[in-house]
Chains A and B, each alone.
Chain A
């Protein structure tokens, strides 16, 4: 299939992290892939066509002799960590027949089981990278014809920035949030390790910004790579970030003249800051129209928020107004002469107690530091400045506040997201040049265009598809094991919602179902690929104990790993360099991937596969044919499912014949043609052969579309900030619904729904874990944290010795990083074997002593402790996941948890 002589450069992409796709060439000599190079020909790429360190391992990933080399079936019926699966090689025909025979009864006998849960479940990780590798397989899932469960977690909610995903999208269509780094001059980063996790574009832009003098302040318990490159590292105590953010907000609103430092006009016109709040905490509304009221200074009267000629909105004060409040379940509270205050005033009162001294006591960040960064933030915000973007004058507010993993999920995540976004709104730095930007949407549609996802909703804000909480529409009986429609209104019910749901709950509730809750049964068929929950999910022992009970597991497998150890059928995964897929590039995508161009790039086989793998698109087609749903499958492809573009659109039709099966080449050829016809509006059509040579097709993308501000202005919409009236209401409604069913296990989570979030003692939540497991908190004095590795993440690279060889150069990569002075007090020397022990277990590793770690912190990079994955099983590294319980007390209202746990450490040959 591929030329076997001469040297060729084959263009393709790497999407082993969501900050891509990164474009590259694979050099192929005499039919053998030998190395990876940047694709310098793509000058439109913001980092000059360069991929990061991981992409250079793709050749070894292709030829890794430890790969699963062909389909295999289990011969040992017993499942357990100590039970060898007894793999027996089988043909692809037998493998696909076996899978189809398991799936067919589900389609014929009903898609859900007696408990109401889907009999088929799929888990494809991780971190949003899977869609770039699934080929046409999602069209098979679309053609399946009934519900399937995507909520059996592989680490999502704990390993991502979950609060940002949900609240970011709710507030400003920001599934991920990025600084407008080409314009930003000042960044306050709370644990955002963007020089490791921000992709090549992030690294490139941060470096350029440093070169021109931009100032980056890093609040983080240890000196990460990003802290190292920052102008200043502030070692903050874990889980106290909300306190510092609240104190900065206090400083803006109480220690500076807010009328001078805030963007008062932006607050009045673009936010709910002027909305009047009634005595019960809901907006005071005009009785007839139910529209929220604002106080018009000129009229000296309350008027509906959308009254067109309001010149000056009152942000401060108290006003006596007639109106109604609309509470939970449409409760109407009528007021005659109620005292109402603008939400901005309520906000000021809310943050009054949160002084820098108060925050310093909690966070270990000195009050003078908080005041200093507050002052710098306000100075750099340059309220009143403008910039010309492609002929359009926009505000310029070159300040950004970023949040990292563990800051941005679990308890405290909501408070951080809220405070960060409100601080941006205070100076008008939300969705304008220089400020913070959303770069992609996943819960709203269309996912390919943030601007089109901006639609008018109630009360002058953007519409958001929330799961209903009303008495007549709330889904009382969960239809997924993670109960996303029942428990999490914000996660909505789209194709990504299952994966963004409380994905730990299936594991927890399969073990211990709460009263009044339908017991989550193991799925009859579980398809799992590109993820390894037995390693990447908390509570490894729990996961393993449940995996043993899954009746039929089909794993798409790269190597043997700790999850497919429990599989019944293993299908060899075609790697990055072995299969076709056309994928969108450019425009605005995850993290800092916003370009001046947009288009599509091809992933393609670069050489003959060394093993008996199959393109996943062909696997999907064969399964559809065997199950008799080929026509539905082809229809899904024709609609653009999995392909990213419909095969029939305005002025073009390259549809597939729905009646017959098509090869992967045929399917992606149509996708190539449809994509180019669509992007060029019919002017250009390029087929698969063209893409195999050129790799990528791009058209210009207007920089105006980096910013939501023009779209919001055009549509007359406001950001639902700072006041969270809607969250307060739906939280109360959800509480009503659950209590009507006498369901109480979610009560703590319900407390998170607040119009203005107060500080809670977040560190205490983790300190208390010891008590819940019958231990003494004082015996676990340290925080175990994780940190991202650029060398390893999301791409099955853990079995590649080349990356281990390279990662050894990164400080502390393969050890437990401890503060050197703290370690000395405990008699621990650099290189000592040590135990790290939490209330639920212990792991062994090598002490690596550093000055750049807080004395109360231990840091473990990545997640290891493999016991079945070749090569990885020889990496001597502990895994936080084995030490962290899946416990309701550690799960917040969005279903996420923060990746940290209290531990103690001691020498392996010493006493605890």
Chain B
């Protein structure tokens, strides 16, 4: 089993609903976004293209962030999910330097949107994340909760929140190793590409562009 995503860039409208849903689901502090949609424009007037590219951890099969970690905090699970074991992280930032997708985010200190925490911030605070590196976890806390008979990527409760919140139905999550999964079928039908393919990191995020 290897979890992955297929993202249909043709459908994305850059609304950042996934961005805010992730931020709220993971109780992230101000300015920290484990994922967001890059709003990119290329060309010269009037021949211009503007595209929206959902970006986050690519959960590479060969993740460069893992071997550089001096403490072993940066880890990869059997199902491909790359994550940080917070109590082992010393916040050195080696992994952030190693990641070509800029998908790692240091949470230096406790921070709130106002001068004091709101009741919701107080309730959802995650003190173990202060002073350590953080990143997208593929919402493993949701995926891992899936009971027998439920399928992450099919049942929204057990799917990464960026995917289940998407209002354009642009993102899909599933088992890349299962030829019958939704993501495998999309890969077969559309032959999506990966970002920075030349680095041969074997990302788990695939992008349909045409």
Binding site for B on A (CB under 8 A): 29-30, 32-38, 40, 47-48, 50-53, 56-57, 59-60, 62-66, 195-196, 200, 203-204, 206-208, 210-211, 223, 225-229, 233, 235, 610, 790-791, 801-803, 805-807, 809-811, 819-821, 850-855
A802–B21 alpha-carbon span in the complex (Å): 11
User: Cβ of B120 < 8 Å from any Cβ of A?
Assistant: yes
A680–B174 alpha-carbon span in the complex (Å): 40
A850 touches B41 (CB 8 A): yes
A50 touches B166 (CB 8 A): yes
- Also in contact, A811 and B50, with CB within 8 A (given A36-B24, A850-B41): yes
4 closest A-B pairs by beta carbon, nearest first, are: A228-B50, A63-B118, A207-B11, A207-B168
A63 touches B120 (CB 8 A): yes
Note all chain A residues with C-beta closer than 8 A to B156. 38, 40, 48
Note all chain B residues with C-beta closer than 8 A to A196. 13, 15
Binding site for A on B (CB under 8 A): 8, 10-11, 13-17, 19-21, 23-25, 27, 30-31, 33, 36-39, 41-46, 48-52, 113-116, 118-124, 156-157, 161, 164-170
- Also in contact, A801 and B50, with CB within 8 A (given A65-B116, A200-B167): no
B20 touches A810 (CB 8 A): no
Which of A52, A195, A228, A791 has the largest number of chain B CB atoms within 10 A? A228
B120 touches A34 (CB 8 A): yes
Closest to B159 in A: A40
Pick the contact of B41 from A53, A802, A851 — CB < 8 Å?
A: A851
Instruction: Quote the shortest CB–CB distance from A874 to chain B (angstroms).
Output: 12
15 residue pairs from A and B, CB less than 8 Å apart: A32-B120, A38-B165, A48-B169, A50-B17, A50-B166, A53-B16, A64-B118, A211-B11, A228-B50, A790-B15, A801-B30, A810-B16, A820-B45, A851-B42, A852-B50
A34 touches B124 (CB 8 A): yes
Which of A206, A811, A819, A820 has the largest number of chain B CB atoms within 10 A? A811
Note all chain B residues with C-beta closer than 8 A to A48. 156, 169
A36–B165 alpha-carbon span in the complex (Å): 10
Instruction: Quote the shortest CB–CB distance from B55 to chain A (angstroms).
Output: 10
B48 touches A65 (CB 8 A): no
Main SS class of interface, B: mixed
Closest to B52 in A: A228
A52 touches B167 (CB 8 A): yes
Instruction: Quote the shortest CB–CB distance from A216 to chain B (angstroms).
Output: 12
A208–B170 alpha-carbon span in the complex (Å): 9
Instruction: Quote the shortest CB–CB distance from B29 to chain A (angstroms).
Output: 10
Note all chain B residues with C-beta closer than 8 A to A34. 27, 120, 123-124
A854 touches B166 (CB 8 A): no
Which of B33, B44, B114 has the largest number of chain A CB atoms within 10 A? B114
A801–B118 alpha-carbon span in the complex (Å): 12
Note all chain A residues with C-beta closer than 8 A to B43. 851
- Also in contact, A210 and B11, with CB within 8 A (given A810-B39, A851-B44): yes
A50 touches B119 (CB 8 A): no
Pick the contact of B15 from A29, A35, A52, A63 — CB < 8 Å?
A: A52
B169 touches A204 (CB 8 A): yes
Instruction: Quote the shortest CB–CB distance from A373 to chain B (angstroms).
Output: 16
A851 touches B48 (CB 8 A): yes
B15 touches A203 (CB 8 A): yes
Instruction: Quote the shortest CB–CB distance from A223 to chain B (angstroms).
Output: 5
A625–B119 alpha-carbon span in the complex (Å): 36
A35 touches B45 (CB 8 A): no
- Also in contact, A801 and B19, with CB within 8 A (given A29-B123, A207-B170, A851-B44): no
